[in-house]
């Protein structure tokens, strides 16, 4: 049973819990789902550990104020939640990180269910294709829960922008918490793949 809570609520939970009445087959299905989830998690961490063996690894992180702080959250919603957040220097290249709220939704201010997506843009000119893996994680002093997801892209002078990809925030509550903050703390990791 995945229930968690204070000890004084345990007896109430045990009286209402459906797990003791489940059949062996139902319990095996639950255990299989848990096992698959753990396997995916281990594959992700193995991928991250593999990336850490790359020769060229770049990292940037810090605290950044929201660009629309002057107008407040309402103005940002009215403008459609599209902004250019940061200009970064990583792996001796200049990058821009763009973000937007509720990708295809015309008026995200009418919904409390929000998502964030981001796009990585290479601003520097390169002599040869730059194949990279990258991920965006929560930064220091931040309690927003972001599940790590590794993205891949080959940057060239002609193709220097990734598609918008989801910022893998756990849920809409976490997304709203991030959007309500005065500052945002994120870490960008870039791994240059060698040929």
At residue 138, the pLDDT reads 81
Whether residues 124 and 175 fall in one domain = yes
Neighbours of 112 (CB within 10 A): 10
3-state secondary structure of 65: strand
- Contact between 186 and 139 under an 8 Å Cβ cutoff? The reply is yes
Identify whether 118 is part of a domain. Answer: yes
Identify whether 90 is part of a domain. Answer: yes
Whether residues 94 and 147 fall in one domain = yes
Identify whether 68 is part of a domain. Answer: no
Whether residues 98 and 36 fall in one domain = no
Whether residues 89 and 172 fall in one domain = yes
Domains of the chain: total: 2
pLDDT in tens, 144-188: 888 889 999 999 999 999 999 988 888 888 888 877 777 777 888
Does residue 135 carry a pLDDT above 60?
Answer: yes
Identify whether 135 is part of a domain. Answer: yes
Whether residues 98 and 169 fall in one domain = yes
Identify whether 17 is part of a domain. Answer: yes
- CA dist 184 → 53, 80, 144, 159 (Å): 29, 19, 10, 28
Identify whether 18 is part of a domain. Answer: yes
Identify whether 73 is part of a domain. Answer: no
Whether residues 44 and 95 fall in one domain = no
Q: What CATH number does residue 183 fall under? A: 2.60.210.10
In which order are the strands placed within the sheet that holds 183-192?
56-65, 183-192, 130-138, 151-155
The pLDDT of 91-113, averaged and rounded, is 76
The answer to whether the predicted template modeling score (pTM) of the entire model surpasses 0.85 is no
Identify which of 195, 162, 160, 156 has the alpha carbon closest to the alpha carbon of residue 55: 195
Range(s) of the domain holding residue 41: 7-53
Whether residues 94 and 165 fall in one domain = yes
Average of per-residue pLDDT values in the chain: 79
pLDDT in tens, 60-71: 765 554 443 333
């Amino acid at each position: 049973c995945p229930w968690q809570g204070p000890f004084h609520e345990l007896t109430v939970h045990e009286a209402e819990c459906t797990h003791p009445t489940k059949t062996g087959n139902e319990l095996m299905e639950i255990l299989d789902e848990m096992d698959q989830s753990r396997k995916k998690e281990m594959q992700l961490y193995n991928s991250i550990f593999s990336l850490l063996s790359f020769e060229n690894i770049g990292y940037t992180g810090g605290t950044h104020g929201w660009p629309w702080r002057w107008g407040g959250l309402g103005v940002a919603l009215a403008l459609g939640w599209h902004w250019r957040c940061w200009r970064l220097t990583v792996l001796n290249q200049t990058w821009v990180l763009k973000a937007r709220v509720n990708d295809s939704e015309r008026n995200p201010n009418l919904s409390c269910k929000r998502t964030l997506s981001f796009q990585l843009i290479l601003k520097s000119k390169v002599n040869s294709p730059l194949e990279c893996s990258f991920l965006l994680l929560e930064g220091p002093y931040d309690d927003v829960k972001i599940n790590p997801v590794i993205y891949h892209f080959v940057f060239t002078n002609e193709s220097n922008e990734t598609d918008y990809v989801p910022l893998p925030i756990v849920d809409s509550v976490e997304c709203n918490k991030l959007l309500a903050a005065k500052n945002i703390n994120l870490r960008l990791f870039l791994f240059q793949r060698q040929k």
